[in-house]
Amino acid sequence: MTEKTTPEQTSNKYNLPKAYAFEEVEQRWYEYWMENKTFTAGMAEGKDSFSIVIPPPNVTGVLHIGHALNNTLQDLLTRYHRMKGDNTLWVPGTDHAGIATQNVVERQLATEDKTRHDLGREKFIERVWEWKTDKGGTIINQLKRMGASCDWDRERFTMDEGLSKAVREVFVRLYDDGLIYKGDYIVNWCPRCLTALSDDEVEHDPTKGKLYHLRYPYADGSGEVIVATTRPETMLGDTAVAVHPEDERYKGLEKIGIKIPLSDRVIPVVLDHHVQREFGTGALKVTPAHDRDDYEIGLRHDLERIKIMDDHGIMNEQAEKYAGMDRFACRKQIVKDLEEQGFLDKIEEYDHAVGKCYRCATVVEPTTSKQWFVSVRPLADKAVAAVRDGRINIYPNTWYNTFYAWMDNIRDWCISRQIWWGHRIPAWTCKECGKLMVVREAPTACIVCGNTELDQETDVLDTWFSSALWPFSTLGWPEQTKELETFYPTSVLITSFDILFFWVARMMMMGLHFLDEVPFRDVYLHALVRDKHGKKMSKSTGNVIDPLVTIGQYGTDAFRFTLTAFAAQGREIKMDEERIDGYRRFINKLWNAARFAQMHIKDSDPSIVAAAEKPAELVLPHRWILSRTNATILDVRKALDGYDFNLIASSIYQFTWHEFCDWYVEWIKVDLFSDDETKREQARGVLLCVLENILKMLHPICPFVTEEIWSQLPGERGTIMLEAFPEANPAWPNTEADQSMQLLMDVISATRTIRSEADVHPSVKVHASIICADAAKRDLLHDFNDSLCSMTRSESLSIMDAGTVPDDAGHILTESGVEVFVPLKDLIDVEAELDKLARERKKIEQELKRVQGKLGNAKFLSNAPDAVVEKEKGKQAELENRLAKNEESRERLGKL
RNA sequence: AGGCGCGUAGCUCAGUGGGAGAGCGCUACCUUGACAUGGUAGAAGUCGGCGGUUCGAAACCGCCCGUGCCUACCA
């Protein structure tokens, strides 16, 4: 009688604890990698290069689930290519995020009852740098928690000295090329942030508003025209009324002056094709200084531009008696006054899109001001050409159309921002003669008159200006560095689709213009991560999944595996936390398989894997698992190379759990415990070989658990990170082994099914029988009799001739035509068996009818490929056979 | 208003011209020496609807319904 072992003793026996404890493992291995500099990019001659630049998160940012997805995918590819032996670089860094960062620091100042103006520009910027050093970049540590294998020694910040130099270089060259200009232009103005916003920085929210119909009297008092507006306060800046040139209703109106209500100003009527006759009354009030379209109309008709409010959205002296009022208060007052004086025709409820600042959600005010612009057309053309001729590929390919459409309609890019934190525009104006100088370094004197008193431009550049240079500025440009030579163009850009135009398109433009080469060969656009119902995650809805909390609960590897498994191209990601738990269990499963393997191989020499190099000498299950390993490696590599992330995850999952664990490991237990040394060694060798392959394939997704298991395997082992990624082995594919194994698995499953349906207790040993006409199959079944018995808990498993089985047997005809019988004595439920047979018969007949229909169709026989016809014929024969067997069984049961 | 997707088992999703799949959940049984975070077996789907192309459609085309997103100069 042996004594029962305690769990503690069990643990010691296998070296590994019973359950995978991720916290300690993750921390330990990340420290190891950092200390050993395993993330450092190599630049060896003669090797392929693989490089990614991180989409730099805002320095103010904290890791959200979108970052988690984005960086998991990048790390996955980076680790894959590093294992393939490429010179591999993943450049990390952060973005200075102009408005966002300035807002954070301004809020901090507000708690001290100060504004940035109290400090002055210089002190304020110092303060921002202090904040950056102190509190900025928490996201970097969070990325490390995710396991990101960035080359941290190359971390960059968009306001670094080197990157700032690149910014000035680009600005000056674009200016010299005539691609940057300063102009009076209508921009989106945020009255709270006090800056211009690019079109992309304005979000259009559907808003319930009102449409006011106003009566505009003719100057001579002979009539009136009704115009409609959502912003009646802009009335005071009107400089025309526009109607469509072919609008019969207003024929001749252009000869009449219009008097603005509540004012004495008289404005002209202009004819413009832009006016849509169907909308409202077909007459449009034109406010060129406060509306983008009106601005365009104003240009066409040379209209005056009257600004009626200041930068804060307060009405100015042009607003006459409304001066000093807030724009929205003014709207109310004006409506009231119009109504009292009979100028208000009617008010309609009206839903429309209102532009709001993407940072602070303040309603944006279109207004004119002096701004700097990039002429993007020539740059955009180069980007479009690069995408069209395949120098850049976009994944998923559904984005091509969207990309082209947007590039066709692109407008000049307003790059100046009226804030303090950012790259200050390198332009100086002479106080004496007014000469504008755009130069790389601050000039000491005017190049025209020599005067030394110069004003520097106060605006800074749009944050996206410096990010547009990121793929080359981080590699040392404008210097000609070895890094540029080795790693530019970068291999792939992985980012969320919502910044395709903010950022991705602009990197293309800048890269092509300045380096005459694309910034990246591939662009992979991933989806937004939503909650499990498909809703956007937001703090107010309370459906946010915090990556760090998730990591704490399930471990980084499980989280990364989940994100990978969800990342199917062209589909939104609905994140269900239950999936994460499922993948945590997968990792635990692998852990325990390794634990089992370890029990048998821990004292072996690692060279036992050599057994797998000669599959011909191995018994069937080994040949089979090697064949399956090979197929999995091919699937995984293909998925990796095609950015089919979900397939990478599912291939490894399916293979590891349902082929390796469920079948292979179970099958070879007999051999592992066998007295036959050859059997034992073969089993150990192949077991170790396949386990190693699984770990290597899984490493890019789950770096921690694979590293930990790897380190426990026999022999002296370095980091798995630098092992070669598995390659297909020509000796492994084996169709014969696949088919033979399939037959054995069918027999086992059939036996189990019969047992289970008849409620035979697992401890009861049965005497199963098999009927099989095929000689080769009979040999195979004979050879593996022991395994079959052990896997089905059978006392014996005999291969019989037809007609010799007992009548009271449960029966299944397998797919491969082999019949399995399990005598059940009084356990058999005749009614249930007959029911089952009837159902089976119905299915067979249905299928047979379909197949016969096809084969009876002359068109099918002549049009379908031969292989398909042959297949259908084989199917027909098989089905007919099955039908006959089914009939036999019914007769047999009928005797009971 | 245009454009782009999506609609497959209760849920989350693969599949994409030649026999309907996975995970979770559900049901039954089982602590068999890696794992109960497990095992075995099972139930469950007019592949959104209607037409069309084809020898053959879940897949390709058209229309419709539902749903999501993007873009826009609807004052």
Distance A399 CA to B4 C1' (A): 8
What is the distance in angstroms measured between the alpha-carbon CA of A839 and the sugar C1' of B55?
29
DSSP symbol at A724: P
pLDDT of residue A779: 92
Position A820 pLDDT exceeds 80: yes
Q: Is A129 helix (H, G, I), strand (E, B) or coil?
A: helix
Burial class (CB in 10 A: 0-12, 13-18, 19+), A75: buried
Protein A862 CA to nucleic acid B65 C1', in Å?
Answer: 39
CA separation (Å) from A775 to A183, A466, A748, A781? 89, 74, 19, 10
CB A330 within 8 A of CB A319: yes
Contact A334, A346 (CB under 8 A): no
Distance from residue A858 (CA) to nucleotide B34 (C1'), in Å?
57
* SS3 label, residue A98: helix
The beta-carbon contacts of A81-84 under 8 Å, at least 24 apart in sequence, are A81/A50, A81/A491, A82/A50, A82/A149, A82/A721, A82/A722, A83/A696, A83/A699, A83/A700, A83/A721, A83/A722, A83/A723, A83/A724, A83/A725, A84/A48, A84/A50, A84/A724, A84/A725
A1: pLDDT strictly greater than 50 = no
Nearest in space to A725 (alpha carbons), one of A55, A78, A108: A78
Rounded CA–C1' distance between A710 and B38, in angstroms: 23
The single-letter DSSP state of residue A544 is P
Nearest nt to the CA of A672 via C1' is B33
Instruction: Judge whether A886 and A840 are in contact, CB under 8 Å.
Output: yes
Nucleotide nearest to A296 (CA to C1'): B73
C-alpha radius of gyration, chain A, whole number? 37
Q: Which H helix or E strand runs over A116? A: helix A116-119
Note the CA–C1' distance, A859 to B52, in angstroms.
19
- Nearest nt to A352, CA vs C1'? B74
Q: Name the DSSP letter for residue A188.
A: E
Q: Which residue has the higher pLDDT, A590 or A183?
A: A590
pLDDT in tens, A377-405: 889 889 988 988 889 988 887 788 788 87
Residue A7 has pLDDT above 60, yes or no: no
Nearest nucleotide (C1') to alpha carbon of A879 = B19
pLDDT for res A346: 85
Taking Cα atoms as reference points, which of A205, A200, A228 lies closest to residue A351?
Answer: A205
The protein residue nearest nucleotide B34, judged by CA to C1', is A596
pLDDT of residue A206: 66
ipTM, two decimals, is 0.91
In tens, the pLDDT along A280-334 reads: 788 889 998 888 888 888 878 888 888 888 888 899 888 888 888 998 888 888 8
Mean pLDDT of A604-633: 93
Q: Alpha-carbon distance A284 to A298, whole Å?
A: 12
Helix crossing, A556-566 with A577-601: angle to 10°?
120
Nucleotides of B under 7 A from a protein CB: 3-6, 11-15, 18-19, 22-25, 28-42, 54-56, 67-75
Phi, psi of A217 (to 5 degrees): -75, 150
Nucleotide nearest the Cα atom of A285 (by C1'): B75
Local structure of A313: helix, strand or coil? coil
Q: Which of A865, A842, A849, A600 is nearest to A713 (CA)?
A: A600
Per-residue pLDDT, A9: 34
Protein residue closest via CA to C1' of B2: A405
| Percent with pLDDT over 90 in chain A | 34
Separate counts of helices (H) and strands (E) for chain A:
30, 30
Residue A178 CA to nucleotide B32 C1', Å?
A: 80
pLDDT score, position A210: 82
pLDDT tens digits, A655-665: 999 999 999 99
Q: How far is the CA of A392 from the C1' of B47 (A)?
A: 36
